[in-house]
Amino acid sequence: MLKKYLAVVPVLFACHAAAAAQLPPKPAAAPIHPVTTVYWGTPVTDDYRWMEAPGSQPLAAYEKRENNYTRNILDSMPGRAALLRDITADSNLTSSTDGLILAGGKYFYLQARPGENTAKLYMRDPATGVTRLLADPDKFGKPGSAEAINFFNPSFDGKYVAYGVSAGGSEAATLRVLDTATGKDEGVAITRVEGDNSEFLPVWWLPDDSFAYYRLQKLGPKDAPTEFFLKSRVWLHRLGQNPDGEGDTPLFGYQVDKSVAVAPDQDALVMAFPGCAYAFGVLTENESNNVIDAIYETPIAALEAGKPVWRQVADKADNITQFDAADGTLYLLTYHDAPRYKIVSTELAAPDLAQAKTVVAQSGDVIRGFALAKDALYVNAADGGFSKILRIPFGQAAVPVTLPYPGTVATLVANETEEGAVFSLESWTRSALWYKTGPSAAVADTGLQPPVKADTSALTSREVLATSYDGTQIPLSIIMNKDTKLDGRNPTLLIGYGAYGITITPGFGPSELAWFKRGGILAFAHVRGGGWYGEDWLKAGMKLTKLNTVFDFIACGQYLVDHHYTSPHQLAGEGGSAGGITIGGAITWRPDLFAAAIDSHGDTNSLRMEFTPNGPPNIGEFGSVTTEAGFHGLYAMSAYVHVRNGVKYPAVLLETGANDPRVEPWAVTKMAARLQAASASGKPVLLSVSYHSGHGIGDTKAQRNADLADDFSFILWQAGDPAFQPK
C-alpha cells in the first residue's frame, strides 16, 4: 500500500512542462461501428461494441498498436530507468508475507524474500524458528512462464498441504498436494480449482486426511462464456485415488442434494475446523462482500463417508460474513441489527440463531473479524482504519491486547486446538511485522518477517475529513514527507476503491519510496462503498447509490487542492478493478480536477459487465440490466457511456492484462478508444497491455515494480517533472 522515504529535497515542477514533450505519431484510431441498444426505454449507443470479441484480429491489432505506442513513450522518459532501479532496490528491503495459517503447531505462509521474484510456500516451527521451503512456483511451468501460488491449506496435523498454482495471472489453478515432512508430491493435479487465501478457501481438509474442494464446471463447446463461474460444486478427494479429480464424490453444490437448494450463481464451499464434530456447507454470493447466503452443517463422519446429511443453520437474512466452531459452539460475525457488526453464538447440536447469545455486542468500532483459539476468542475491531484486538476467554470478560503502536491488524489468525493468536501490524509509515499473543495478552514478535531496512522517520501521515456533495464527511489519509510545503505544487496521487465493503487500511511497503524521494504525496480516499464505517458505509455506495463513491472521491481530490497539498495541474487519481468505476466517474464528472488518471484493470463499462464470464457473480454488488432499477444504477456508474465528445479530459493511462479473468481486457480497451476519440485536451490517452499477466493477482515482483515505474513516470510527466518528459 504505502512505502518508504529517503531524505531528499523535493523538486518542484513547472505546471505545464508536459505539454512541450515531443511524442511519436499516434497510431491509427479505432474504427467506430455504432450499435444502439434500448434498455427500459433508454437508447444507449456504443461505438466500440465490436471490441467485445476476445481474440479477434481487429481487437488484437488495435491493442498491439496502442501498447507499442505506450511503451515507446514510457520507455523514452529519461527518468524512468532510475526510478525503476530505485523501486527495485526498495522492494528488496524486506520480505513480504501473506496468507498465514496455523496447523499442527506450525506456521504455513507465502513469502517473497529480498531478491526473490515470486512468493514461495514455507512451513516454520515457531518454537525453534526452523523454516522449510515447501513449494516454489518457479519450479512449475515452462521457462518464461510466471507461475504463482494462489491459495493453500494444510491438513489439521500439518502432515499435508494442498495448494493451487496458476500461470500468467490467469488464476486458473491446478490443485496439488505435498507431504510436508518429505516434500513428496502426492500426485494430485486437479484443474479448475479457483480461489485465494481469503476466509473462503477452495480446499478444506477433513480429520481422516481426505479433503473437500470447490471446482468450477467444465464448459462444453455450446456453453456461453457467462456460464464459467456458475453451477459450482464441492467434491470429496481421497489421496491415492482419482489424481485428476475425475470420479471424486460430489458433496455439496449445484444439483448435488435435493434437500439443499443452490442457485446457479451461488458459490458452494465445504469448510471444516480442527476438533469440531461437524463440517459446514456454505453458499455465498460470489463477489458480494463475503455475505453468506446460507450455512448448513453435517456430522463430519458422514461427510468423510461421502454421505453428508445437511441441516440448515443460517440463511441470507441472518447477515453472516464469518463463522468458526469449536467445543460444540458455533460463533458467527453478523451485521444483523448491527451495521458495525457483532459476534453471536449458538450450540451446534441444536443451532437456533433466533436465540443466539451475543458474545461481542455492537459498539462504535467496526468488528473486522475474529480468530478462534483453544483459550479464547480473539477479536479484530477498528476505529476507522486503526485496529484493536480483544481477547475474550470463554465465559469471561474481554481483555484488550496492548498493541506495540497504533496501526492496522490486516491479518489475525488462530487454531481452534492451540492457544494464542498471531497477527500482522502495520501503519502508513511502518512496515508489517508479525506478532503473537496468548493467555497473558502479552505481545511478542514472531520473527516471521524482519523489519524493513530503511528509515521512515522523515515521513508523516494525516487523517482528515473531506466534505462530500451531500455533507457526508469522507475520511482521507495523506502520507508525505514532513518537510513538504503546502504550496499547491506537489505531485499527488489520490487512490480510491469503494466496493464490496473493502477497506483500504493503513499499510506500508518500501516499493513506493521512490515517490516520496521525488517529492510526491500519496493519499487514500475512504469512499462509500468500502467498509471504513461498516455495513452502512458499503450500502451507501452500491447499485443505485454507487455515484456516492465517485462524488466522495472527487470531494477528497478537491480537499487536496483547497488545502494546497496540490493543484489540478499536479493531481492524479487512480482506481483499479471495481475502482475503475471510481476513477472513471471522477474524470467524467470533474475532468478539470485532475492532471492525470490511471485506470488499472478497471471496470469502466459497467453496463456490459454482466455479459462477461465474471459478470453474473457481481450482480449482487452492482445490479443487472434485467431490472429497470438495475439498469439505471449501472448506467449511472458506467463511465464509458458518459464520455462526451469535445471535453478536455486529463491524461489517462489505462492498463489491462491479457489473461485477466475478472475484468475483460476489452472493457479497458473500449474506454481507451472512446477517450481517444472524444478528448479535446490534447493530452495523451495511453493503453498498456501486459501479455503475461491477468488482473494483477499472481504477478511477479518484477512485473509489479515495472507497473509502478510506469504509473509514477506517467504522473510525473504530467506534473511537469523535467526528468520524465519523453524524448
How do residues 559-569 score in pLDDT, each as one tens digit? 999 999 999 99
- The arithmetic mean of pLDDT across residues 144-159, rounded, is 93
- The arithmetic mean of pLDDT across residues 380-396, rounded, is 93
Cα 403 to Cα 11, 340, 446, 448, distances in angstroms: 37, 22, 14, 17
pLDDT of residue 20: 53
- The arithmetic mean of pLDDT across residues 612-619, rounded, is 92
Q: Provide the grid cell at 415.
A: 487454531
CATH topology for the 17-89+454-724 domain? Rossmann fold (3.40.50)
Read off φ and ψ for residue 274, nearest 5 degrees. -55, 135
pLDDT of residue 19: 46
At residue 556, the 3 state secondary structure works out as helix
pLDDT of residue 204: 98
Q: Is residue 12 predicted with pLDDT exceeding 50?
A: no
Between CA 182 and CA 136 the distance in angstroms is: 15
Output the pTM of the full model.
Answer: 0.94
Instruction: Tell me how crowded residue 250 is: count the other CB atoms within 10 A of its CB.
Output: 16
Q: What rounded mean pLDDT belongs to the chain?
A: 94
Between CA 204 and CA 194 the distance in angstroms is: 13
pLDDT tier at 286 (50, 70, 90 boundaries)?
A: low
Q: Is residue 179 predicted with pLDDT exceeding 60?
A: yes
pLDDT of residue 107: 99
| DSSP secondary structure letter of residue 22 | -
pLDDT of residue 15: 40
pLDDT tier at 197 (50, 70, 90 boundaries)?
A: confident
pLDDT tier at 18 (50, 70, 90 boundaries)?
A: low
The amino acid that residue 36 corresponds to is: T
pLDDT of residue 454: 86
Domain extents in the chain: 17-89+454-724, 371-451
Q: Say which range, 126-135, 191-200, 549-558, has the weakest mean pLDDT.
A: 191-200
How do residues 442-496 score in pLDDT, each as one tens digit? 999 999 998 888 889 999 999 999 999 999 999 999 999 999 999 999 999 999 9
Segment (H or E) for 565: none
Q: Is residue 7 predicted with pLDDT exceeding 70?
A: no
How do residues 511-559 score in pLDDT, each as one tens digit? 989 999 999 999 999 999 999 999 999 999 999 999 999 999 999 999 9
Between CA 556 and CA 346 the distance in angstroms is: 43
At residue 560, the 3 state secondary structure works out as helix
Query: Which percentage of the chain shows pLDDT scores above 70?
Result: 96
Q: Is residue 211 predicted with pLDDT exceeding 60?
A: yes
pLDDT of residue 290: 66
- The arithmetic mean of pLDDT across residues 338-367, rounded, is 97
Q: Provide the grid cell at 327.
A: 467445543
Q: How far is CA 430 from the centre of its chain?
A: 21
pLDDT tier at 289 (50, 70, 90 boundaries)?
A: low
pLDDT of residue 196: 86
- The arithmetic mean of pLDDT across residues 424-434, rounded, is 95
pLDDT of residue 21: 63
- The arithmetic mean of pLDDT across residues 605-612, rounded, is 96
- Range 625-630 contact pairs with CB under 8 angstroms and sequence separation of 24 or more: 625/39, 628/40, 629/543, 629/544, 630/543
Q: Where are the beta strands (DSSP E) in 534-585?
A: 571-576
- The arithmetic mean of pLDDT across residues 656-666, rounded, is 94
Specify which of 498-502, 643-647, 692-696 reaches the highest per-range mean pLDDT: 643-647
pLDDT of residue 509: 84
Cα 127 to Cα 7, 18, 55, 501, 535, distances in angstroms: 39, 57, 53, 37, 40
Read off φ and ψ for residue 31, nearest 5 degrees. -60, 145
